[in-house]
Amino acid sequence: MVPGIVDACDLRMIHIPSLEDLLEKKYDHFTYHKTFAQARAEPLAVLHTSGTTGLPKPIIWSHDFAASWNEWLAMEAPEGYANQSNLWTSNVLQIERPRENAADQCELVFPISIPHPSIPDLWAYSSRSDDIIVLLTGEKTNPTTMEQTISHHPEVQAALLAGTARFQTALLIELVPSQNSEKLYTVERAHTIERIWPKIEEANQDCPQHAKVAKTHILFTTPEKPMERAGKGTIQRKPTLDLYSEELDKLYADADKMSTSAPVDISLPQDGVALTDSNSIALFIHNIIAQVTGTDNFQDGDDLFAHVGRSKGHGLETEFPTDRVTFLAADLSKKNLGLELKIYNELQEWLPRLVLTSVQLGIIPESLDATKETEVDWIPLDILASVLVESCLGDSDSGSGSGSVEDAGAKVFHPTNPVLTSWRSLISAINRSQDKAIEPVPFTLWIEQVKREAEKLDDATKLEDQLADIPAVKVMPFYEGLAKGKGAARLDNDRAMKMSKQLRELVGIKPEWMEEWVKSWLEARVGK
């Protein structure tokens, strides 16, 4: 019939290939040289639509429209709302189906698949959603890979990771029948852990920090209570953990009594320590503490306290200085932590406190760290706001990127002032902003003088008024930390300067800015 109609009406017949033909046929590479500006108005795709009462009509998407749609998808949702696109653009896929369609037929499982790192549209089974461990901190981990790695040890029959609603993960191990014939006592348990530990370390290297297993959190099953298994031989996680719930509770309790810290690898000196040399002993202790704490920003004479075990209550045994400490209820989900703007600003303003106290005492730190010459890379907040807008919207005349692989994904910018300003030059500006002369002194001497003034406040009848004259008293530990430090690290701001014309044109902190700031701080103090 169709050929007859075509011949009679002189129609041109076009064959539309099937979807299988389009996908299976190999096509030659098509070279496309047009830029986005040249092709933005050209069609990208033609969508077909038809209804029950209307004729089919094409919907043409141009490159420009598709790009605008992608930009819209990338926009953050308003506060209190969620983007629907976020529900399906994750890198984790969970297969679900309506439960009512499978009622009384089978128990649904929830397989989690992850995308192949290099082959598009290829997904691999990873685990089940009920296998995921959620720690008390809210962090999650998939234990499957770790358990498989540990199970490869010849002495291990099965391994199961625990930790749901706990601060730290724990490992439940079932030894092979030849090793699991009798209950392990302390010595045998320690020897067994040492033999298995290299395999556990291997598993720890491939898991996130919060999921690492410590030697103090390893539990062995007993012969009379083997792990629960399904008919096909796989370990049943929840029944097994329920079976050993009491033993796991005791394991966590015993570990808390020993220490709340994970094990730390410490490098000891190859040549030993000369016990007759006090300097050698001090250096050895200093290095050990630095390795354990991860910082060497302390002096040999500092008092260090080790807090063993978690706090058992909220009470304080010592007399609390209520006249100097203010309790604030904060909400991390709200702007400014849910605090009043005045209170929030007071928490951050360490520089005004330093300047106001210096004006009162007549002395000011000659540097802001342990070095002799401090240089600052501050940016005024109003200018910083403009810099951030430029960086986010790409308003810079230098362009926002080249479209290369390096420009893809998340970008990190360091909007610091490209022109460093010496603290000494700002001291001169502080002197010019008020009538009282201020003498530069070493930072440590300034701290000692503030502490001496603070001692006079104990018997003061108008403590709040006097604290307003020397507000640095409330944050003295912060200044002591500055005085011992070596200054903030210099951040690379090349990318930020490329993104912001205003940042490139900054000339450092102008002295007249500092003068205006000090005048406003002094006026605010008088007005209180």
Q: Which two tokens stand for residue 516?
A: 């205006």
- Which residue reads 């004259």 in tokens? 469
Apex CA 331: angle with CA 327 and CA 333, to 5°?
Answer: 160
Percentage, residues of the chain above pLDDT 70 = 73
- In whole angstroms, what is the distance from residue 121 CA to residue 92 CA? 13
Burial classification of residue 361, based on how many CB atoms lie within 10 Å of its CB (0-12 exposed, 13-18 middle, 19 or more buried): buried
Percentage, residues of the chain above pLDDT 90 = 13
Side chain identity, residue 421: T
Report helix, strand or coil for 105.
coil
pLDDT of res. 218: 93
Range of lowest pLDDT (45-49, 59-63, 266-270, 498-502): 266-270
- In whole angstroms, what is the distance from residue 150 CA to residue 147 CA? 5
| pTM summary value | 0.37
pLDDT of res. 313: 46
CA 67 from chain center: how many Å? 31
- Which residue reads 């005024």 in tokens? 380
> For 262-288, how does the pLDDT look when each residue is reduced to its tens digit (9 = 90+)?
455 666 776 777 777 787 788 888 787
Q: Taking the CB of residue 346, how many other CB atoms lie within 10 A of it?
A: 16
Strand partners, 219: 172
Q: Is the per-residue pLDDT at 168 higher than 70? A: yes
Report the chain's C-alpha Rg in angstroms: 34
Q: Which two tokens stand for residue 41?
A: 């108005």
> Is the domain covering 129-258 a CATH 3.40.50.1220 domain?
no
Report helix, strand or coil for 376.
strand
- Please choose, from the candidates 193, 202, 199, 203, the residue with its C-alpha nearest in 3D space to the C-alpha of residue 146: 203
Decide: 443 and 369 in contact? Cβ < 8 Å: yes
Decide: 180 and 174 in contact? Cβ < 8 Å: yes
- In whole angstroms, what is the distance from residue 385 CA to residue 393 CA? 12
- In whole angstroms, what is the distance from residue 238 CA to residue 234 CA? 12
What's phi and psi for 172, nearest 5 deg?
-105, 120
- In whole angstroms, what is the distance from residue 201 CA to residue 214 CA? 9
Strand partners, 117: none
The two beta strands, 43-49 and 111-115, are unpaired
**Report for 189-198, 300-309, 390-399, 405-414: range of highest mean pLDDT:** 189-198
Over range 7-34, report the average pLDDT.
82
- Please choose, from the candidates 231, 233, 251, 232, the residue with its C-alpha nearest in 3D space to the C-alpha of residue 241: 251
Strand partners, 61: 45
Burial classification of residue 36, based on how many CB atoms lie within 10 Å of its CB (0-12 exposed, 13-18 middle, 19 or more buried): exposed
Q: Is the per-residue pLDDT at 49 higher than 70? A: yes
Strand partners, 134: 140
**Report for 301-310, 395-404, 503-512: range of highest mean pLDDT:** 503-512
Q: Regarding predicted confidence, which is higher, 394 or 403?
A: 394
Phi-psi region of 18 (alpha: psi -120 to 50; beta: other; left: phi over 0): beta
The DSSP line for 252-321 is: HHHHHHH-SSPP---PPPTT---TT-HHHHHHHHHHHHHHHHS---S-TT-------S--S-S--SSPP-
Decide: 450 and 472 in contact? Cβ < 8 Å: yes
Decide: 500 and 390 in contact? Cβ < 8 Å: yes
Domain ranges of the chain: 129-258, 335-401+411-527
pLDDT of res. 156: 93
Strand partners, 220: 173
Looking at 75-172, list the stretches that DSSP marks H as alpha helix, in order from N- to C-terminal side. 144-151
Q: What pLDDT band is residue 322 in, cutting at 50, 70 and 90?
A: low
Q: Taking the CB of residue 248, how many other CB atoms lie within 10 A of it?
A: 19
What single DSSP character describes residue 53?
Answer: S
What single DSSP character describes residue 171?
Answer: E
Q: Is the per-residue pLDDT at 397 higher than 50? A: no
